[in-house]
Amino acid sequence: MEQTFAIIKPDAVERNLIGKILEKIETEGFRVASIKRALLTVLIAEGFYHVHKERPFFKDLTKSMCAGPVVLLVLEKEGAIKAWRKLMGATNPAEADEGTIRKEFAVNLEKNSVHGSDAPETAAFEISYFFSQTEIIS
Ligand code: GDP
């Protein structure tokens, strides 16, 4: 069973959307293998998004991830990485397909409600960045 990493971002937590997003996740057949709420610091957000450090939006992105609590998730499903990217929708909600989380809940490109790993190596790094082995119950 493949694992992927997801974040319910501060904009969605602030609008009380945790339940609605988890409902979509479970309805699509994902199992929640681990879940926790956290308040990221800038240093933690910068380490997490290190691949984007040369991008012009890096500072805005890391700041927005620290604007309030997040929910961190390890999700399991056959083909979980691709399936979660599909359920999230396009990065820019204006381009997201009907039925996706970003289409339904995102505010704009920055406040786009959810994060998801984009490849197996990224998923492995991101899961281990926030969770220890003993916190993940397959
Ligand atoms: P994702 O994998 O779909 O989340 O997209 P990326 O990995 O390309 O970008 C990471 C995150 O950076 C996105 O989810 C957005 O929140 C944010 N982001 C991407 N492009 C921009 C941009 O041009 N401006 C701002 N402010 N944020 C951006």
Per residue in 27-64, pLDDT (tens digit) is 999 999 999 999 999 999 999 999 999 999 999 999 99
- Banded model confidence at residue 17, pLDDT cuts 50, 70, 90: very high
Q: Six-digit token pair at 137? A: 């119950």
HEC secondary structure over 62-121: HHHHCCCCEEEEEEEECCHHHHHHHHHCCCCHHHCCCCCHHHHHCCCCCCCCEEECCCHH
Mutate to test the pocket of ligand 1, among 111, 112, 125 (most ligand atoms within 8 A of CB): 112
Give the distance (Å) from ligand 1 centre to CA of residue 56: 10
- Pairing between β-strand 2-8 and β-strand 114-116 as defined by DSSP bridges: antiparallel
Mutate to test the pocket of ligand 1, among 109, 113, 117 (most ligand atoms within 8 A of CB): 109
Ligand 1, atom 22, lies closest to the CA of 57
Give the distance (Å) from ligand 1 centre to CA of residue 91: 6
Average pLDDT value over all residues in the chain? 98
pLDDT for 37 equals 98
